């Protein structure tokens, strides 16, 4: 397909159609008539040799090609706007942009409540799509233009992926008080003797704690491996399991009398919790605005003294 055969305005219409999945709503969004949108949709179907929008019963769904086009198309249009200087005066209250962000349920618990509040107050027409993936999967989607931003722990990043530290996190152990020795101290011997609960999105049994133990010629036994941070604390209950997790996972958690939190009996270094994005978005005002809010809402409130 030759680029000269495409009216770039069609890409704007395509982006709106893939978002709205409705000709009339697309027309309202772009301030164009329904016949004009229908005409553009027909041209796009011919150019791309694909139906794009498919009616299934009472709803309209995207074709496979349309689904694959949606995220890269938004990224391209954002770059074009920045190139032409049209997004210099980004006004959150007037924006209809859709941001796709990847994070674990741990990140979601920290970021989303306050972020969504700010979006609804300042930019009610901006849409937020949140997905979950492994670290590698998040980076791949960043590079492919499928997502705008990822939040998590990324020890290694490609050269074209930028990062910003949101906060520094430490580890805490959660266990049943009855699983402690009579001394009430969680020493390393006890830690290694007890079975462990591990949070791993991809099922990998080697986390940061295991890397530290291996460097010392030691190993713990992971008895349960789960993919979600949010469910892990509730699984300790009356068991002999030890859960070693990021400290903020346990914020505002009602532990009760049976559970106790203690520092790990080994030196596990703090880690940076970051947001990452592709360098193509560095100068995009809307993207910078989103990144700034993610950073603000991630900051831990100062303790009241």
**Do 293 and 150 belong to one domain?**
yes
Please tell me the predicted confidence (pLDDT) of residue 239: 92
Residues 128, 231: Cα–Cα separation, whole Å: 24
Please tell me the predicted confidence (pLDDT) of residue 182: 80
Please tell me the predicted confidence (pLDDT) of residue 305: 41
Please tell me the predicted confidence (pLDDT) of residue 30: 82
Q: What is the pLDDT of residues 242-289, one digit of tens each?
A: 999 989 888 877 777 888 999 999 999 999 999 999 988 888 888 999
CATH of the domain at 21: 1.10.10.10
For the entire predicted model, the pTM comes to 0.67
Would residue 278 count as lying in a domain?
yes
Domain count, the chain: 3
Would residue 288 count as lying in a domain?
yes
100: which 2 tokens?
């796709």
CA distances from 298 to 10, 66, 226, 292, 294 (A): 38, 34, 24, 10, 6
Please tell me the predicted confidence (pLDDT) of residue 165: 96
Would residue 218 count as lying in a domain?
yes
**Do 157 and 124 belong to one domain?**
yes
Domain end (from 44, 62, 80): 62
CA distances from 116 to 27, 74, 124, 129 (A): 27, 21, 10, 11
Task: Give the structural domain span for 253.
Answer: 171-269
**Do 54 and 144 belong to one domain?**
no
Residues 158, 160: Cα–Cα separation, whole Å: 6
Q: What is the pLDDT of residues 83-117, one digit of tens each?
A: 665 545 678 988 888 899 999 988 999 999 999 99
**Do 96 and 238 belong to one domain?**
no
Task: Decide: residue 110, CB within 10 A, 0-12 exposed, 13-18 middle, 19+ buried.
Answer: buried
Residues of the chain scoring pLDDT < 50:
2, 87, 302-305
**Do 276 and 159 belong to one domain?**
yes
Task: Decide: residue 234, CB within 10 A, 0-12 exposed, 13-18 middle, 19+ buried.
Answer: exposed
Would residue 15 count as lying in a domain?
yes
Q: Beta strand pairing status for 127-131 and 98-102?
A: parallel
Please tell me the predicted confidence (pLDDT) of residue 184: 79
């Amino acid at each position: 397909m030759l680029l000269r055969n495409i009216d770039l305005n069609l890409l704007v219409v395509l982006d709106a159609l893939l978002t709205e999945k409705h000709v009339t709503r697309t027309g309202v969004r772009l301030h164009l008539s329904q016949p004009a949108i229908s005409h553009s949709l027909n041209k796009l179907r011919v150019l791309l040799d694909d139906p794009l929008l498919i009616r299934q019963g009472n709803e309209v769904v995207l074709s496979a090609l349309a689904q694959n086009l949606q995220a890269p198309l938004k990224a391209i249009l954002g770059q074009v706007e920045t190139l032409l200087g049209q997004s210099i005066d980004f006004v959150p209250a007037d924006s209809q942009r859709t941001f796709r962000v990847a994070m674990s349920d741990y990140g979601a618990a920290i970021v989303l409540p306050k972020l969504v509040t700010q979006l609804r107050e300042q930019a009610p027409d901006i849409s937020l799509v949140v997905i979950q993936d492994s670290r590698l999967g998040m980076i791949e989607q960043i590079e492919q233009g499928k997502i705008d931003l990822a939040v998590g722990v990324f020890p290694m990043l490609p050269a074209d992926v930028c990062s910003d530290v949101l906060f520094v996190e430490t580890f805490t152990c959660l266990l049943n008080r009855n699983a402690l020795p009579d001394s009430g101290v969680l020493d390393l011997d006890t830690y290694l003797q007890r079975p462990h609960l591990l949070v791993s999105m991809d099922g990998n049994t080697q986390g940061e704690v295991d890397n530290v133990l291996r460097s010392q010629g030691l190993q713990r036994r992971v008895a349960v491996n789960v993919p979600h941070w949010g469910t892990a604390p509730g699984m300790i209950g009356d068991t002999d399991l030890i859960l070693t997790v990021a400290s903020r996972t346990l914020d505002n958690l009602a532990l009760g009398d049976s559970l106790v939190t203690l520092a790990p009996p080994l030196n596990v270094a703090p880690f940076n919790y970051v947001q990452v994005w592709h360098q193509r978005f560095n100068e995009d005002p809307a993207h910078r605005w989103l990144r700034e809010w993610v950073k603000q809402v991630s900051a831990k409130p100062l303790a009241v003294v």
